[in-house]
């Protein structure tokens, strides 16, 4: 199993600013996944973060907008850059071991 600590749990940000979300896992994992959940929608994969290499981004997501760090096998950050109201969503990190484990989510509101 895995326990993921994600923070912040929520934030209200001004447009044009950036927010960095952190996820700490209590065990070493090869891949960490970052998801976005827009209001009323299901989860959309933003990128897969591997330690020691650049993240792999899904179609529609770019590194300049969502830079990711993965300095070791237990930690990752996702930055939402130059935010606009359209970035208001829940952002979640996830790992898979024997099951899928998720952080508590970051509820972001951009005003």
Q: Which residues bind other proteins (CB under 8 A)?
A: 9, 31, 33, 37, 41-43, 45, 48, 90, 92, 94, 98-107
Residues 6+ apart with CB under 8 A from 43: 35, 36, 37, 92
User: How near is the Cβ of 104 to other proteins at its closest, in Å?
Assistant: 4
Please provide the DSSP assignment of 5-42 as one string: EEE-SEEEE-TT--EEEEEEESS--SEEEEEEE-TT--
CB nearer to other proteins: pick between 6 and 74:
6
CB nearer to other proteins: pick between 74 and 101:
101
User: How near is the Cβ of 111 to other proteins at its closest, in Å?
Assistant: 19
User: How near is the Cβ of 48 to other proteins at its closest, in Å?
Assistant: 7
DSSP state of 86: G
CB nearer to other proteins: pick between 76 and 106:
106
Residues 6+ apart with CB under 8 A from 53: none
């Amino acid at each position: 199993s895995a326990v993921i600590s994600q923070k912040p749990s929520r934030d209200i940000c001004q447009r044009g600013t950036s927010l960095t979300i952190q996820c700490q896992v209590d065990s070493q994992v090869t891949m960490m996944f970052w998801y976005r959940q827009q209001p009323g929608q299901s989860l959309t994969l933003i990128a897969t973060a591997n330690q020691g290499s650049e993240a792999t981004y899904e179609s529609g997501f770019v590194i300049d907008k969502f830079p990711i760090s993965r300095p070791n096998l237990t930690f990752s950050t996702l930055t939402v850059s130059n935010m606009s109201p359209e970035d208001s969503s829940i952002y979640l990190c996830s790992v898979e071991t024997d099951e899928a484990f998720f952080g508590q989510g970051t509820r972001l509101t951009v005003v």
